[in-house]
Structure 1
């Protein structure tokens, strides 16, 4: 079963890619211009160079040109590093629980046949936070015209322990739908600025991880807040539509809208019972939150508005009810 997204999904993809590209290019250009300005200023102070105001501006513009090929290399490296982080600490499903692991693998194989995709490998994280997302291997091509390699579906122990077998299969179907719709490659690119922002600023987070300290951090760090917010806007424009499309496709594959609906409700209820942060220390929690089947950061982690990466639960449940009634 090959899924083709509606026109709206395509428009969202273009908008998301455009916002992300502008964010990345602007960030790279600002950094490059700043570095070039410092070098030119030092050279002028030492005497060998003299610039008029116009000449100085032209020198900055020309000095920023070499950033483009370097920029492409950095982006490719960032995507591979992103994949490494998403797979860190995971093991094949069968190594966690022989019987349960084989059940997950059998479900993934059956669903892959229905969706006409390569059978994904199922890997498990030890986190107690419920997680389910898809990613590629670090060695896979960053940009591929055809899907040649087997992708990876990652679930956590917390997810397996929280959901029933029917709900687990519905979640796996949701992730397979993302693969069938070719979401994985675009999402990898859209995650780059968010991942970069986390990588640059997570070192400044307080060990106590309190909400007050985090708010103070962003008040003192407008650059980090701006980069993260723009990243979430670009990702969310596409991600909110892709989640609804994957929900519908999962129901078509399993024929059981109730299983996915109950899984989403169960995960939402568990999220609301937790603090803002996950119960397990997740590295790059915001980017993991963005690609998980449900937000992982608790009620406060879903920022709402343009920065929301997931549709509201009520919207997803209403869509599932409409599919069931059709």
Structure 2
């Protein structure tokens, strides 16, 4: 079964692409201006070069030639490093001899058939904190026009120990619904502007003394959130339809929302990964509300699931 989106989903996707596209252009422009200013400063120190508007424009053009490719390489490398970090410390489920893990693999095979997707690999983290997320291999294309790559669903031992079998299947169905909706592919496009904005911001600046980087990152988050919030609701609907048990996903979400089960450390960039997790998982960053939130409010998700159960 393939999940189809409404016209509203298409509008959201276009709006998200527009917002993040502007962020990417702004980030590239800021980088080029900084490089051009550096070149002009060095030229003025070494020779009789004088600052003029025409000279600065030509310097921008000259700076863009090496800067833009280097900028693209740096962003691409950062994304691949994060993918590598997402899989670091995980092991294939096939290497774990446990009944619960065997059940997860069987459920994934069944759900992949229902959603008409290539069966994703299941990998397991040793973390005691319950978490589940979908990513791709570091060697896969950073962005792709068509569905490509090798999706991986990562679950933690804490998730397996915390949720019931029905709840675990519902969480897996949620992640498979993301894959069926091509959310991972589109999100990979939206993450490029976000990473570009993060490249210009100081993540260790709690006082927001870097207003430009913070502003660009916030705008990129708005663009990502415009798309991802609705896709989370769509994935919830898909999971409920695939399992025939909306209540299982609802109880899983409520359990995972418990503060006792939230991670105390950031194992990856919160801003750039929450769009493909079943719940915001990274404490304060994951709890950003309003336009910058990547997930809808929990109560809204639960109410939607209750409506499905009542139908």
TM (norm. structure 1) is 0.85
- Partner Cα distance (2:173, 2:294) in 1: 20
Pick aligned residue for 1:222 from 201, 211, 218: 211
- Partner Cα distance (2:136, 2:200) in 1: 19
C-alpha contact 1:82 1:195 (8 A) present in aligned 2:
no
- Cα distance, 1:257 vs. partner? 0.6
Tell me the SS of whatever aligns to 2:129.
Answer: coil
C-alpha contact 1:128 1:280 (8 A) present in aligned 2:
no
- Partner Cα distance (1:26, 1:114) in 2: 42
Tell me the SS of whatever aligns to 2:89.
Answer: coil
User: What whole-Å deviation, never above 9, does each CA across 1:185-219 have from its counterpart, x for those lacking one?
Assistant: 121232234446289645x3xxxxxxxxxxx7233
User: What whole-Å deviation, never above 9, does each CA across 1:194-252 have from its counterpart, x for those lacking one?
Assistant: 446289645x3xxxxxxxxxxx7233343443243223212111110100011111111
Pick aligned residue for 2:253 from 241, 264, 286: 264
User: What whole-Å deviation, never above 9, does each CA across 1:149-181 have from its counterpart, x for those lacking one?
Assistant: 431001112221211100000000000000001
C-alpha contact 1:288 1:296 (8 A) present in aligned 2:
no
My pick for the range that moved more, 58-67 or 1-10, is: 58-67
Q: Does 1:296 align with 2:294?
A: no
- Partner Cα distance (1:190, 1:144) in 2: 12
1:135 counterpart residue number:
135
1:22 counterpart residue number:
22
- Cα distance, 1:34 vs. partner? 1.2
How many residues end up aligned between the 2 structures?
309
Mapping of 1:120-159 within 5 angstroms? Answer: 120-159=120-159
1:207 counterpart residue number:
none
Aligned-pair RMSD on alpha carbons? 2.5
Unmatched runs of 5 consecutive residues or more in structure 1: 205-215
- Partner Cα distance (2:266, 2:285) in 1: 16
TM (norm. structure 2) is 0.89
1:40 counterpart residue number:
40
Unmatched runs of 5 consecutive residues or more in structure 2: none
Q: Does 1:244 align with 2:233?
A: yes
2:103 counterpart residue number:
103
